[in-house]
Amino acid sequence: MLSLKNIRKSYKTGDFIQVALKDVSLNFRENEFVAILGQSGSGKTTLLNIIGGLDSYENGDLIINGKSTKKFKQVEWDAYRNNSVGFIFQSYNLIPHLSVINNVEMGMTLSGVSAKERKKKAKEVLERVGLKDHIHKKPNQLSGGQMQRVAIARALANDPDIILADEPTGALDTKTSVQIMDLIKEIAKDKLVIMVTHNPELAHQYADRIIELKDGEILSDSNPLTDESPNTNYQLKKTSMSFFTALKLSAKNISTKKGRTFLTALASSIGIIGIAIILALSNGFDKKIDEFEAGALSTFPIMITQSTIQMDREIFEQHQNDMMGKDEEGEFPDVNVVYPMESVEDQLTHTNILTEDYIEYIESIDPSLVSGVSYTRMISINMLYHADGKTAMVDSAKGFSSYPKSLKDNSPTYLKQNYDLLAGSFPESMNDIVLIVDNKNRVDQNILKNFGINADHEEINFDDIVGREYRIILNNDFYKKADGFFTLNGNPNDLTSLYNNPNAVSIKVSGILRPKDSDKFPLLEAGFVYSDELAEFLIEDASQSEIVKAQKDANYNVLTGEIFDLNNEEDLQKRDMIVAGLGGSSLPYAISIYPVDFESKEKVTDYLDEYNKGKDTEDKIIYTDLAATLTEMSGGILNAITLVLIAFSAISLIVSVIMVGIITYISVLERTKEIGVLRALGARKKDITRVFNAETFIIGLSSGLLGIAIARILIFPINNLLENMTDLPNVAQLNPIHAIALILISLLLTILGGAIPAKWAAKKDPVIALRSE
């Protein structure tokens, strides 16, 4: 069944070559007990290692059941050791951190035998060698004879054809040696047992055949076998260690070094802890910013003005190059000329042409998305007040503006959503105006004086403001025409007659309002506000007034006499502004759209973008989303800070990778004999790599979990500290996705860190590994 044909093996040390075997040829029977005798250095252990596939031969051939091994690949040698050979070593070579039964099961594990079958077979062979009651003990709890019996049981467990014993009684006393030899003799009844020994008495007492070696050559053979017809149906079953098995093996090894493993995982977790806390803070501040957006910035409108600035990165970059005097290729021009260029402001400024059609488009927005739309117009309202026995003009440009109107109806939805009623009532008609105060009930005293309210007192009772009446004089009653010019229709020093004009529009202060949330930015300044319905009524009336019609047709200012050159664009704009100020234009110069919330804002901007599709640049309406701009700025700054901090923390991860590599290298050194044992049992190189990858997997997983756990604990004092410093509660919040990602990163980095030592372990020579201590 086993034949050696002219096997030659030598070892080279520098320039010295030692020939261990010199063209050795032997045939072995299927069932016999062969003892190989020889002095130290005779080549007997080398011969045993070559027969067991642990060592390679240089010339000749090793034939197994008629199958030549000359062209065997490494995986085939691994399978041969696992399927066909069982090793019994002088020093037992048991894996110390595994129990007796786990040691015995190892060879079967590599063969892919099921767990149930492995356990059954292991118990059977342990019972056969007399260790039935010791299966759960560790090797260090056994005597030398018992450990050798475990080694024999391990050799028998996979039912190999060949048992190779290397000085099996060399470390045992006489009584135990006899027991072990009796056991090996029993095994030899149905297997080929080849034993290496330097004890002639032991060999002659137990062996059926004795082969003597001297200086790598066969000196004698007591029962040689001539060539015979071998079985040519020999098949090898490839070995394979699953990652779970490798994980289990490494876990048991790690369990013997709990302290070192914990410290390694703790040191490796420092980077994870740092990044986790940074991400928790970043995530928390992001949420706080979101809350800030939903709160403080929720009142920010989408602004559409006649002239707007569009943020164009390419123009800014070009401007930067222009400022440096460089062209597109970064070169300075070498010419004697000056190039006039358009200013950056002109390049970025876009003129929005607001039309009646666009106003209708705006007012067709889904009403459920907006709390109101506000129009800013240039109209100057002719408003008078009568108080303390005198009548005076109210400067409508000072503290008097319109509030957003609802697209559903004329109700003051925006005011009701964002302001609390302190006194009186919300406006119910166009004749109602309200006073808005700030969150401390304050109003600029100049605004109050402008509206005829005595502001010389430290405080003014609500009742002194609510119910106050004002009168708006329509253009035809406010102005009179004389010699092509228009002047005030009445005595400038006594406006009582104008105030009492029967056509005047009477308005009154219906209530006083204050912002609901002090954290929000108030978009309506403290002062008096009126409805857009009133503005539309006044514009409609003014557009039919004599002064507006006259100004539209005149080439001069009908109030001051200033002459306009209608062929001059600037003068034409001046005239149009006067017409608008007199109420002659219904088109606003600014529109403010107030979304209900941030989610609605996205839909509103999508709606506005839809209008611009297919239009030329000059026909597009560009809007300004100030809340989005602020959000992008704050988010961008926070992201940049987060990335910088993570980059610094990542340095510790690099150190962790190096440290894991060193720890794995130390583990390889500590487990060198285990590597040799596993290779002798048929483990492939990739299985050895897998064992150490499994170890780094455990360390990486432990490191990641420990890092996240410590980070979660540290978040509590960090949040307390931040709350004391900033009044912001629960800032640091670790996102579960970030936690999982960091654990995976820890796994990946530790596996990478241990990859080189794991590969190095796989390349170890099994013979040399078995000799290590």
- What CATH number is attached to the domain comprising 68? 3.40.50.300
On whether both 208 and 89 belong to a single domain, the answer is yes
Q: What is the pLDDT of residue 467?
A: 95
306-326 CB burial, b ≥16 within 10 A, e <16 = eebeeeeeeeeeebeeeeeee
On whether both 647 and 750 belong to a single domain, the answer is yes
How far is CA 605 from each of CA 119, 140, 295, 311, rounded to the nearest angstrom? Answer: 70, 76, 19, 16
Q: Is the pLDDT of residue 147 over 70?
A: yes
- 770 pLDDT band (50/70/90 cuts)? confident
On whether both 368 and 514 belong to a single domain, the answer is yes
* Over residues 674-701, mean pLDDT: 89
On whether both 673 and 570 belong to a single domain, the answer is no
Q: Is the pLDDT of residue 625 over 60?
A: yes
On whether both 289 and 314 belong to a single domain, the answer is no
Q: Per the domain annotation, does 214 fall within a domain?
A: yes
On whether both 57 and 198 belong to a single domain, the answer is yes
Which of 211-225, 244-258, 308-322, 482-496 has the lowest average pLDDT?
Answer: 308-322
- Give strand pairing partners of 85: 162
Q: Per the domain annotation, does 37 fall within a domain?
A: yes
| Tokens representing residue 193 in the block | 């047992």
| Tokens representing residue 524 in the block | 């309506």
pTM assigned to the model? 0.63
Residues in the chain: 773
Of 596, 611, 643, the residue at which a domain comes to its end is: 596
Q: What is the pLDDT of residue 285?
A: 79
The answer to whether the CB of 73 falls within 8 A of the CB of 9 is no
Q: What is the pLDDT of residue 322?
A: 55
Q: What is the pLDDT of residue 298?
A: 58
Q: What is the mean pLDDT of the chain?
A: 87
Q: Is the pLDDT of residue 521 over 70?
A: no
- 446 pLDDT band (50/70/90 cuts)? very high
Q: What is the pLDDT of residue 473?
A: 96
- Give strand pairing partners of 7: 24
What number of helices (H) and strands (E) belong to the chain?
25, 26
Task: Give the whole-angstrom CA distance, residue 77 versus residue 82.
Answer: 9
Q: Per the domain annotation, does 649 fall within a domain?
A: yes
Which of 211-215, 217-221, 234-238, 436-440 has the lowest average pLDDT?
Answer: 234-238
Q: What is the pLDDT of residue 346?
A: 62
User: In the chain, how many domains are there?
Assistant: 4
Q: What is the pLDDT of residue 321?
A: 56
On whether both 402 and 550 belong to a single domain, the answer is yes
Task: Give the whole-angstrom CA distance, residue 561 versus residue 484.
Answer: 9
CB count in 10 Å sphere of residue 472: 21
Q: Per the domain annotation, does 561 fall within a domain?
A: yes
- 341 pLDDT band (50/70/90 cuts)? low
* Over residues 130-151, mean pLDDT: 92
Q: Per the domain annotation, does 760 fall within a domain?
A: yes
Q: Per the domain annotation, does 193 fall within a domain?
A: yes
Q: Per the domain annotation, does 474 fall within a domain?
A: yes
304-332 tens-digit pLDDT = 988 776 655 454 455 555 555 555 555 67
Tell me, rounded to whole angstroms, the distance of Cα 43 from its chain centroid.
60
Q: Is the pLDDT of residue 595 over 90?
A: no
| Tokens representing residue 217 in the block | 């050559």
- 635 pLDDT band (50/70/90 cuts)? low
Residue 587 region by backbone torsions, left for phi larger than 0, else alpha for psi between -120 and 50, else beta: beta
Q: Is the pLDDT of residue 714 over 80?
A: yes
On whether both 208 and 76 belong to a single domain, the answer is yes
* Over residues 647-657, mean pLDDT: 81
On whether both 639 and 749 belong to a single domain, the answer is yes
On whether both 141 and 50 belong to a single domain, the answer is yes
Q: Is the pLDDT of residue 523 over 80?
A: no
As a whole-number percent, the residues of the chain with pLDDT over 90 amount to 43
Query: How much of the chain is in helix, strand and coil states, percent to nearest 5?
Result: 45, 20, 35
SS3 category, 338: coil
Burial class (CB in 10 A: 0-12, 13-18, 19+), 587: middle
- 517 pLDDT band (50/70/90 cuts)? confident
State the residue range of the domain holding 716.
254-295+631-771
Q: What's the angle, vertex CA 139, arms to CA 136 and CA 140, rounded to 5?
A: 115
* Over residues 567-587, mean pLDDT: 89
Which of 200-209, 258-267, 704-713 has the lowest average pLDDT?
Answer: 258-267
Q: Per the domain annotation, does 245 fall within a domain?
A: no
Q: What is the pLDDT of residue 400?
A: 94
* Over residues 425-434, mean pLDDT: 95
Q: What is the pLDDT of residue 634?
A: 62
On whether both 261 and 383 belong to a single domain, the answer is no
On whether both 179 and 234 belong to a single domain, the answer is yes
**Which has more pLDDT, 321 or 436?**
436
Q: Is the pLDDT of residue 627 over 80?
A: no
The answer to whether the CB of 223 falls within 8 A of the CB of 26 is no
